[in-house]
Structure 1
Amino acid sequence: MFCGKCGAPVPDGAAFCPGCGNPVRPAPPAGPVPPVTVASPAPRRTKYRLIGLAAIALAVLLVVVLVTVLFGGRSYRKAVDQLMRGVMETDAGRILDVIPDEVTGALGYSSRTAAEEGLNAVLSYTTGALDEAYGPSWSYTYKIDEREPYSSRERMDLQERYARYGYDLDLSDALEVEVELTIRDAGGRAAEQQDIDLTLIRLGRNWYLDIFHMGGAF
């Protein structure tokens, strides 16, 4: 080692420099090199990502609820389909499902069960006549040709007509449709065709048959 003051060489273990007498501090003994600790990276924070996913899920849920509220319920086309299938497939239950419960009694039956039995008897006569004419393999198709919404005045007149018979219905809409019914024989050829005029009424979110204008369907 060397003196830090005069630069003269100093023997190992000497306490003073032999050249200038300057005290010499011995070098500390060499020890093991302490290990270097490498900190592991902190985990990524997912708080904001989770909040974003929750916000997206909430937005989707709100859209589903909004669509259900605005566009849910039975459409007028579904009501027509229920009627046509009920008539042509001898299923009065389908027909009664699209007649407001409040006015089912206007059909002249004491209960829904009695109404189903009575209507099915009428429908069986119709389908039986078709069986005789075209065989049991006949089929049918239909399409809605025209659709004419009621004006506000016409809708109010119809609502007042129900009121005169003791039925307090709140009609939110009404429309008239023309249904073209085609009966096809076993070979799929059109054998008969009939135009049926129907009026449908809307109560809340569902469309129903207007009992005053459904005679042409039977």
Structure 2
Amino acid sequence: MCVIVAVVLLVYTLGGRSYKKTIDTFVTSQFAVDAQSIVELLPEKVVDKALEETGYSKTELVDEANDSLKKQVDSLDQSLGDDWKLSYKMTNVEDVTDDDLDDLKSNYEDINVKVSAAKTVEVEFTLKGDETEVSNSLEISVIKVDRSWYLDLYTMGNLF
């Protein structure tokens, strides 16, 4: 019995998704045309609010986002060839603090999402084709809600 209680406590205390896993899933899902996985990186109440404001169903949102991601990937296929490879690394991580964090918390409080922390992560990625290589960087904002990290839709704006 003690072992079961210890395992449950360990899972509860250490559970949740790290900001690194959130970034990893976001970057790889964009290039894999997997909008469903990206939507799952948003707090559920944020998704519900977006669906309410747009009049979309979750399926319609995911389908439209997949169409947008597919166009981007098709463009990469034309530029780099069909066998391009993605590599990326997080080059800078900054905690959001003070007034910026307070503003962010306030934005999310309006939809009953309690943000406890936030980070801005710079990701440098490289797309390598047969004869061409393209590098760029992207700032990704994440928020911590309960024990998991999510994409910060308010700061990032349009994800697709």
Q: With the length of structure 1 as denominator, give the TM-score of the two structures.
A: 0.65
Unaligned runs of 5+ in 2: none
Greater Rg by CA: 1
Higher strand fraction: Structure 1 or Structure 2? 2
Does 1:71 find its partner at 2:14?
yes
Alpha-carbon separation, structure 1, partners of 2:79 and 2:61: 27
Alpha-carbon separation, structure 1, partners of 2:150 and 2:55: 19
Alpha-carbon separation, structure 2, partners of 1:185 and 1:109: 39
Identity %: 31
Alpha-carbon separation, structure 2, partners of 1:111 and 1:65: 35
Contact conserved, 2:86 with 2:127, CA < 8 A, in 1? yes
Q: With the length of structure 2 as denominator, give the TM-score of the two structures.
A: 0.87
Contact conserved, 1:85 with 1:94, CA < 8 A, in 2? no
- Higher RCO (CA < 8 A, seq sep 6+): 2
Match of 1:169 in 2: 113
Q: How much does 1:61 deviate?
A: 4.2
Does 1:93 find its partner at 2:39?
no
- Listed one character per residue, the Cα deviations across residues 163-196 of structure 1 (whole Å, up to 9, x for unaligned) are 4xx4121112111111111101137xx7111111
SS in 2 for 1:131: helix
Unaligned runs of 5+ in 1: 1-56
Match of 2:147 in 1: 205
- Listed one character per residue, the Cα deviations across residues 126-177 of structure 1 (whole Å, up to 9, x for unaligned) are 10100000111011011111111122543221021234xx412111211111
Contact conserved, 1:173 with 1:201, CA < 8 A, in 2? yes
**Count of residue correspondences:** 157
- Tell me the C-alpha RMSD between the 2 structures: 2.1
SS in 2 for 1:200: strand
Does 1:111 find its partner at 2:111?
no
Match of 1:158 in 2: 104
Given the alignment, which residue of 128, 132, 136 partners 1:194? 136
- Listed one character per residue, the Cα deviations across residues 58-78 of structure 1 (whole Å, up to 9, x for unaligned) are 2x5454333322221111111
Given the alignment, which residue of 69, 74, 78 partners 1:128? 74
Q: How much does 1:217 deviate?
A: 5.8
Contact conserved, 1:162 with 1:169, CA < 8 A, in 2? yes
Alpha-carbon separation, structure 2, partners of 1:109 and 1:121: 18
Match of 1:41 in 2: none
Alpha-carbon separation, structure 2, partners of 1:77 and 1:125: 27
